[in-house]
Structure 1
Amino acid sequence: MMPASLSLVVDIGGTNTRVALAQGARVDRTTIRRFANAEYPGLSEILSTYLAAANRPVCAGVCVAVAGPIDNGVARMTNLDWSIDSDTVRAATQAKHVAILNDLQAQGHALGHIEQNSLVPLIEATERPGASQLVIGVGTGFNAAPVVDQAGYRTVAPAECGQISLPVQNEDDLRLMRFVSSNQGFACVEDALSGRGLERLFAFHAHEADQSRTLDAASIMKALATREDSVAEATGRSFVRLLGAVSGDLALGYLPFGGIFLIGGVARAFAPHYQRFGLAEAFRNKGRFAAFMQNFSVALVEDDYAALEGCARHLAATAS
C-alpha cells in the first residue's frame, strides 16, 4: 500500500480532466492521466477509474480545480453539465481533507513554482518581488484571477472574468458585438476569447467578407500557420487585439506589478502569432495610461500541468 501522506490532485477543464498523485507539495508527473469528459457522466466515475488503475492508493487529501464558479462549496462547470461538491469527492476517494478550487485559483497557487523554461516572455517589464500577480486562462473558456501574497499566505481570489462585456473600441468591434449578441442577446469576453470564441470570430470575419464559411478552432490555427487564408488572418488579428485589450483592462483592475501569466491551450496555440498581430501594442493602448502599462509584464505558461502543481501546493499549505 502507498503511504497515507499521498494526495490526489485533479484539474477539470471544459474538455479533459487531468488526475495525478502528489507527495506533499510536489506532483508525481509519472502518475498523470488524462480523461475525456465526454466519455464520463461525472467526476466520481473518473476518480474511481483512476484510483482502481493505481491500485487504490490511500490519499489523505484531494484538491479539485474546476473550470467554473464555486458557490457555497459546490462547483458548477461553465462549459459542462457537471456539479462537484466535497461530499461527492470524499465518497469517491475516502480522503479526509477535500478542497475545491476554481481552475484559475489552482493556476495562481502554482505561480513561483513553475520551471523557468516553461515561461515564455511576451511583454517585457521589470517585475516587483512580492507584488500581486494575475493569471489569465484562455482555453475552452476564459477567466482570470489575482494572486496576492501577504504574511506568508497566498490568496487567489475566484472570479468569472469571461462573463464580462466584450469591449467595443471601434466600429468593427461594434459589428462583432452585434453579430455575437444576435444569437444570445449578450456578447461577453468568452464569446470571442476561447476555443469556441475563435470559431465565432472566424464566422464573423467570413460574414464581413461576404462568405458563408465556418472552421473549427484547430483548422483556424492550421490556416494561421500558412498565412494564406485572409479570413483566418483577420480572425487571428482580432483575437490577439482583443486579448491584449482585455488583458490590459484586467491589469488596470488588479495592478499585477508581479506579472501577468497567460495559461490554457488556446493561449499556447497563439504563441507564434502574438508579436506579428501586435499583442503588446493592444495591451498598452490605454490612452493617457499607455506609459503606465509598461509596468506590467506578460508571460506565457507552457506547462500544461501547472494547475495540478497549484492544487498540491494549496493542499500542502492548508492541510492540518
Structure 2
Amino acid sequence: MNHPVFLAADIGATKTNICLYTFPGRLVANSPLVQFRTADFSGIEALIPNFLSGRKVDLSFCVFGVPGPVYNGRAQITNLPWVLDEKKIQRDLNLTTVRLVNDLEATAYALPELKSKDIFTLSAGKKESKGNKAIIAPGSGLGESFLIWDGVTYNSFASEGGHGDFAPNSKIECDLFAYLQKKYGHVSYERVCSGQGIYNIYRFFKDQKYEKEPIWLTKEFESAGKDPVPVIIKTALNTGKQCRICVKTITLFAAILGAEAGNLGLRMLARGGVYLGGGLPERVLSFLKEKAFLQAFYHKGRMSSLIKEIPLHVITTPKAGLIGAAHYGVAHFLPDCQKDKFTVVKAVPEVT
C-alpha cells in the first residue's frame, strides 16, 4: 500500500524546520529534516520551492505551524514581516490542501508523543495520565498553548497568553516593569520572557546602573552583529569568566519564566504537566535547575501545595513543533483507517 506523502513545517521568526512525512500506522520521515534561516526568504511561497527542489513528490497536503494567531486561514506572523494565506499558498504552489495552525497549538500535538529522551524533568510532581497539559515556549516571542482531556481524546487550544500583562513579584521586577512601561506603555510577559525579553532585562540592569557592562563585553556585542542575546546567554553560562550583568539577566529571566509557567499550570490545572518549549529553556537549563526558577514556579500562595503536584518538564528535542505539525495533519487529513492506534488530538477553533 502506498501511503500519502505530506509536508510539515515549523515556522519560527528565526528558523524554519521542514520535512516530508508518511504515516504507515506511525509517523515516518520521508526526507531529511532541513532547517532554513527564515529571514532569508520573502515568504513561504519562496521557501517551499527551495526545499522541494530536486525532489519528485506528489504532496497530499501541507501543514505549517506559524508564530501568531490564525484566523480564517490567514496569519500575520509575529516578529516576522510575513502574511500567510492558505488559499494563496495553495494557488501559488499548486497544492490541494494547505493548513496554517498556531505554532504552539501544533507543538501541543506533540506532547502526548514525547518520550523520556525528549524531555528533561525539573519536577516529577504527581502526574495524571489523562490530565491537562500546558506548554509555554519562550523564543523570539512567547507562546502558550494547552491540551484538555475530554474523556475520549485531547482537545488542543491555541492561545496568545504570552501577550498578557506582566505581573512583577519582587522589588527588582517592579523596577523593571516601571522601566519598560515608560518604553512600551503596555508590558506583556513577552517583553520580559523571550529573546527580546532577555535583552530588555539586560538593558534595564545597564541603563538603571544596577550593573556595569565590562569593556570586553561591549567589544563582543560589536563583533556579534545585530542580535546580542546569544552573547548574553553564552557569557552568563561561562563559569570561567564571571560576568555579573549577564548572570543577573538570565537569573531574573528564569525567575519570571518560572512565575508565568506556574501561572499557566494553575490556569489550565495542568496535572498532566507543564512543558517548557521554544528555543531558550534548553539553552539556559542550568539556570532553570537553580532555586530562583523553581521558587518562582512554586510561589503561588494558597495554591503552592497544588502547583508542587504539577509535573514540570523542559522539551529538549528541537523537533517538537515540527512533529506536532505533522501529527496535526495526520489527525485532520488522513483517512481513519490509516491512523491505526494514533491518539487523535482535536483542534478547537481559536476564539478571536
Relative to the length of structure 2, the TM-score reads 0.85
Which residue is 2:266 aligned to?
Answer: 252
Change (3 A) 1:27 1:74: farther
C-alpha contact 2:211 2:245 (8 A) present in aligned 1: no
Q: Which residue of 2 aligns with 1:20?
A: 19
Offset at residue 14 of structure 1 (A): 0.9
Mean Cα deviation higher: 245-254 or 92-101: 92-101
Distance in 2 of aligned mates of 1:43 and 1:84: 8
Of 255, 274, 278, the match for 1:241: 255
Verify: 1:204 aligned to 2:204, yes or no.
yes
Q: Structure 1 residue 110 and structure 2 residue 124: aligned?
A: no
Which residue in 1 is equivalent to 2:345?
A: none
Q: How much is the aligned-residue C-alpha RMSD, in angstroms?
A: 1.8
Post-superposition offset of 1:226? 2.3
Q: Match of 2:5?
A: 6
Q: Which runs of 4+ in 1 moved over 6 A?
A: none
1:308 is aligned with what amino acid?
L
Post-superposition CA distance 1:165-224 (Å, at most 9, x none): 111223221210121122221111011111111011111112333556475111111121
In structure 2, the partner of 1:135 is: 135
The residue type equivalent to 1:36 in the other structure is R
Which aligned pairs between 1:117-266 and structure 2 lie closer than 5 A? Answer: 117-150=117-150, 152-209=152-209, 213=213, 216-227=228-239, 228-266=242-280
The percent of aligned pairs where both chains have the same amino acid is: 22
Q: In structure 2, what is the Cα distance between the partners aligned to 1:183 and 1:27?
A: 48
Contact 2:68 2:78 in 1 (8 A): yes
Task: Give the C-alpha shift of residue 277 in structure 1.
Answer: 4.5
Aligned partner of residue 296 in structure 2, secondary structure: helix
* 1:31 alignment partner, SS class: coil
SS in 1 for 2:236: helix
Aligned to 2:340: none
**Residue in structure 2 matching 1:275, options 271, 280, 289:** 289
Return the alpha-carbon distance in structure 2 between the equivalents of residues 122 and 109 of structure 1.
Answer: 21
Does the CA contact (< 8 Å) of 1:209 and 1:231 recur in 2? no
Give the Å deviation of 1:149. 3.2
Report the alpha carbon displacement of residue 265 of structure 1 after superposing the two structures with TM.
Answer: 1.2
CA distance in 2, matches of 1:255, 1:210: 37
Q: How far apart are residue 69 of structure 1 and its match?
A: 1.0
| SS at 1:112 equivalent | helix
The AA in structure 1 aligned to 2:134 is L
Query: What amino acid does structure 2 have at the position aligned with 1:17?
Result: T
Separation in 2, partners of 1:305, 1:152? 27
Inter-partner Cα distance in structure 1 for 2:15 and 2:283? 17
Give the number of equivalent residue pairs. Answer: 317
Contact 1:198–1:217 (8 Å) recurs in 2 = yes
Q: Is the 8 A contact 1:162 1:190 kept in 2?
A: yes
Unaligned stretches of 5+ in structure 1?
Answer: none
Gaps of 5+ in 2: 222-227, 336-352
| 1:49 aligned residue | 50
Offset of residue 92 of structure 1:
4.1
For the residue of structure 2 that corresponds to 1:267, the secondary structure is coil
- Specify whether residues 92 and 22 from structure 1 end up closer, same or farther in structure 2 by C-alpha distance, changes over 3 A only: farther
Contact 1:59–1:94 (CA under 8 A) maintained in structure 2: no
Verify the 8 A CA contact 1:66 1:103 in the aligned structure 2. yes
Q: Distance in 1 between matches of 2:28 and 2:206?
A: 44
Going from structure 1 to structure 2, the CA distance change for 1:209 and 1:139 (only over 3 Å counts) comes to same
Query: Aligned residue for 2:315?
Result: 301
Say whether the 8 Å CA contact 2:107–2:321 is kept in structure 1: yes
Q: Is 2:73–2:87's contact at 8 Å kept on the other side of the alignment? A: no
Structure 1 residue 117: Cα displacement: 0.8
C-alpha displacement of 1:152: 4.1
CA shift for structure 1 position 90: 1.6
Partner of 1:288: 302
Q: Which amino acid aligns with 1:20?
A: C
Instruction: Supply the AA of the counterpart residue of 1:165.
Output: D
* Alpha-carbon separation, structure 1, partners of 2:130 and 2:15: 33
Question: AA paired with 1:299?
Answer: H
